[in-house]
Amino acid sequence: MVDLFFYGTLRYVALLELVLGRASATLDVSDAELAGHGVFAVDAQIFPAIEQRIGHVAQGLLVRGLSEQDIAALNYYEGGFDYDLKDVVVQVPGGQDAKVSVYFPEPGLWQTGGEWDLQDWISNWGALTLRAAQEVMAYQGRMSAAEVAKCFPSVRTRAAAWLAAQARPGDLDHDLSKDVVVHKHKHAHLNFFSMQEVDLQFRRYDGTMSPVLNRGVALVGRAAVVLPYDPIRDEVLLIEQFRAATFVAGEQRPWMWEPVAGMIDPGETPEQAAHREAMEEAGVSLTTLEPVAQAYPSSGSSGEIIHIYVGTCDLTSRETGGGLASEGEDIRSKIISFDELMGEVDAQSYLDMPLVTAALWLARHRARLRLE
């Protein structure tokens, strides 16, 4: 049996229960303090780090009697964050000392800022972290912690997308607690995307339940798509890049002409992502964003939802763009007239659905944009 001191996100009991796979009522938990240490926010991350600091006291939870199975689960979850167990002495209520172990980050791994607050973190990131942890722990025993760690950014992106979907209005005609029955939910594959399988039944329009059906779903997250449009010159900017998906699907032209697009990061709004991606991929500073659609482009197979915009801009004033090498992007762009754009749409030359959607919206609203 092992006694551990938790100072960071695992002080959130709901997260600790999820990682361990058992209720907190089965745990021996008490408050504790680690003198000479502080817990600080990590720059550009949503978790804290502990550091030795004179005059500081790290508040935390002491959990006694953790089993080998518990430690294996914790090592799997924390191992992906480059944390190692070390022995320390903490103080428990009453002034007694207790020798315990603590997950410490690799020295110098993170750049820290101000003191970290658990309740603020729960308010801002608790729900997202719980959802992400569900996906991470589903791969224990099938993938190493290091392999899963490489996927953490996309896991969090999907968690943010799931929370956004949960926040949208429900279906007044259906009660999901009764009209959909999930018999089995399997996390089948994890990489940049997540492949999941479900065995389920749904209520048919005649009131009966369907047979048990097996369905696979590709989960990606949320994406922002923006077609840059210069209303003065009546021109749009398109980007082109290689797409592995269309290549694997058999296309002879896997280099696709598209609008600017990119994933929406956790904590980022679709509008912020659209502005960021316009600069990263095309070097364009957008003046205004015109909402076009929020839609699932392929609801029969993918859980990705896209937020499509037309962004007004001055296409004569551009910076470098071209995408991020760190994301494997190799992008070129071109500026064409509105008439050429619509001619290619009518000729069905474009294979990217968001581009066609944005172009058709622009055709309906172009006159207004040119007058503003």
Closest CA to 99 of 225, 1, 169: 1
Phi (first) and psi of residue 97, to 5 degrees: -95, 150
Rounded to whole angstroms, what are the CA distances from 161 to 157, 221, 304, 349? 6, 5, 8, 31
Strand residue runs (E) in the chain:
2-6, 28-42, 48-66, 83-92, 96-105, 112-115, 180-190, 194-202, 213-219, 222-230, 235-242, 255-258, 260-263, 284-295, 305-318, 332-337
Closest CA to 238 of 246, 230, 250, 247: 230
Contacts of 364 (CB under 8 A, 6+ apart): none
| Set 271, 327, 340, 372: catalytic member | 327
Provide the token pair at 231.
Answer: 């209303």
- Residue 91 β-bridge partners: 33, 97
CA 264 – CA 270 distance, rounded (Å): 6
8 A C-beta contact, residue 81 and residue 75: no
CB within 8 Å of 176: residues ≥ 6 apart: 170
Give the CA distances from residue 337 to residues 231, 275, 290, 320, 355, in Å, rounded to whole numbers and listed in that order: 10, 22, 19, 21, 15
Tokens of 123: 């308010």
The amino acid occupying position 345 is V
Q: Are 66 and 3 in contact (CB under 8 A)?
A: yes
Q: 258 catalytic, yes or no?
A: no
CA distances from 184 to 120, 130, 132, 229, 302 (A): 35, 20, 19, 46, 19
Residues annotated as catalytic are: 327
